[in-house]
């Protein structure tokens, strides 16, 4: 089934494309790890197969945004339990708050999603359980004028993938492959799981 390294790398790309487009994909919500070894689940918004670039949305005020600006090393873990395939990637992250990519991502979002950037910044301390949203937007979609202040807090996290570690779990014996990108070319190898 998985015998050619190039087929596996193509399969990885196809899985990431599907993960970004299909919210029911098991790889739609990867674990993202920053250089301070902090991990969190995020939603994959896009995968550019030609550039091997992931796009996720974040709050510009989030601690992860500051961490990535200070040290851009980022990793992600994707897992599909049904197919028993794990994809781990490492790369360089960057936070963009303005420019064509961030502007397009903001424009493509609906106001229900945009409202997440209206409230308190991530990690803000509260004396009660809170979503951080202003009370008037709890469960309510704001109108276009109401989300204007949210735009300054919206950012995209772009991850340029440099390494891919693919693992297929099988009772007959696991199979693992690694891919490293240098410029536009890839090197690949089989490794023991």
Average pLDDT, the chain: 96
Distance CA 48, CA 159 (A): 10
Longest dimension (CA), the chain: 58
Residues 37-68 pLDDT 10s? 999 999 999 999 999 999 999 999 999 999 99
Per-residue model confidence (pLDDT) at position 93? 98
Q: Which SS3 state, helix, strand or coil, does residue 155 take?
A: strand
The pLDDT of residue 11 is above 90: yes
DSSP code, position 166: E
Write out the CATH class of domain 5-191. Answer: mainly beta
Per-residue model confidence (pLDDT) at position 3? 87
Per-residue model confidence (pLDDT) at position 1? 65
Residues 136-166 pLDDT 10s? 999 999 999 999 999 999 999 999 999 999 9
Task: List the domain boundaries for the chain.
Answer: 5-191
Residues 82-132 pLDDT 10s? 999 999 999 999 999 999 999 999 999 999 999 999 988 999 999 999 999
Per-residue model confidence (pLDDT) at position 127? 93
Distance CA 169, CA 28 (A): 20
Q: 16 and 33 in contact (C-beta within 8 Å)?
A: no
164: β partners: 89, 179
The pLDDT of residue 26 is above 80: yes
pTM summary value: 0.95
């Amino acid at each position: 089934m998985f015998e050619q390294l190039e087929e596996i790398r193509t399969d990885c790309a196809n899985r990431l494309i599907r993960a970004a487009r299909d919210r029911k994909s098991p790889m739609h919500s990867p674990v993202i790890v920053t250089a301070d070894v902090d991990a969190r689940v995020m939603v994959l918004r896009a995968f550019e197969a030609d550039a091997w670039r992931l796009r996720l949305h974040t709050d510009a005020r989030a601690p992860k945004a500051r961490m990535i600006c200070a040290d851009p090393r980022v990793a992600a873990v994707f897992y599909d339990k049904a197919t028993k395939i794990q994809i781990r990637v490492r790369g360089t992250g960057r936070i963009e708050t303005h420019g064509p990519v961030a502007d397009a991502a903001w424009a493509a979002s609906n106001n229900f999603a945009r409202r997440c950037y209206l409230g308190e910044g991530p990690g803000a301390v509260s004396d009660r359980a809170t979503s951080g949203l202003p009370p008037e937007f709890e469960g309510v979609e704001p109108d276009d004028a109401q989300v204007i202040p949210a735009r300054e807090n919206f950012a995209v996290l772009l991850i340029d993938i440099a390494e891919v570690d693919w693992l297929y779990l099988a009772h007959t014996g696991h199979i693992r492959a690694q891919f490293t990108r240098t410029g536009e070319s890839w090197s690949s190898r089989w490794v023991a799981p």
